[in-house]
Amino acid sequence: MERLAKQGEDALAKLAEELSESPLLSAAVARALEAREKATQAQELAIGALGIPSAADVERLAQRLRSVSQRLERIEDAVDAMRDQLAALANRASGKEAAAGDAVEARLDEIRREIGALRESLAPDQAPVPRAQGRLTVA
């Protein structure tokens, strides 16, 4: 049994070696790979002509949305920090500090408007995503 198994292994190894060295097989594999690439390109062109986004387009869009989401999150964190600073200033309000608080409040209002405009430009017809959902990842 062992001798037969060894002979079978040797025969398979020799066949694999001969096939890998065969110019005919190498040429056939190369043609098959070229045909696959041409078929893929034709598929992408057909999908593009129909106006259907490809998987790569969808992935790029998802990456861009994640990037924008992360930026918005950083902006929201900055606004929260400024709000906390404003609350601290309001607690210690005096003449000069109250004026600074007004400036911070004005800047916060400006940032809120900018965030609203950014959200509107990203998804003008959709309601804003709740903050708790904004941190979900897309697989």
Whether the predicted pLDDT of 93 surpasses 70? no
Whether the predicted pLDDT of 137 surpasses 90? no
DSSP string, 58-110: HHHHHHHHHHHHHHHHHHHHHHHHHHHHHHHHHHT--HHHHHHHHHHHHHHHH
pLDDT in tens, 101-129: 778 888 899 999 888 888 777 766 666 56
pLDDT band at 65 (very low <50, low <70, confident <90, very high): very high
Task: Find, among 104, 79, 80, the residue nearest to 90 by Cα.
Answer: 104
Global confidence as pTM: 0.38
Structure-block tokens of residue 116:
């609203």
Of all residues in the chain, the percent with pLDDT exceeding 70 is: 82
Average pLDDT in the chain: 83
Whether the predicted pLDDT of 130 surpasses 70? no
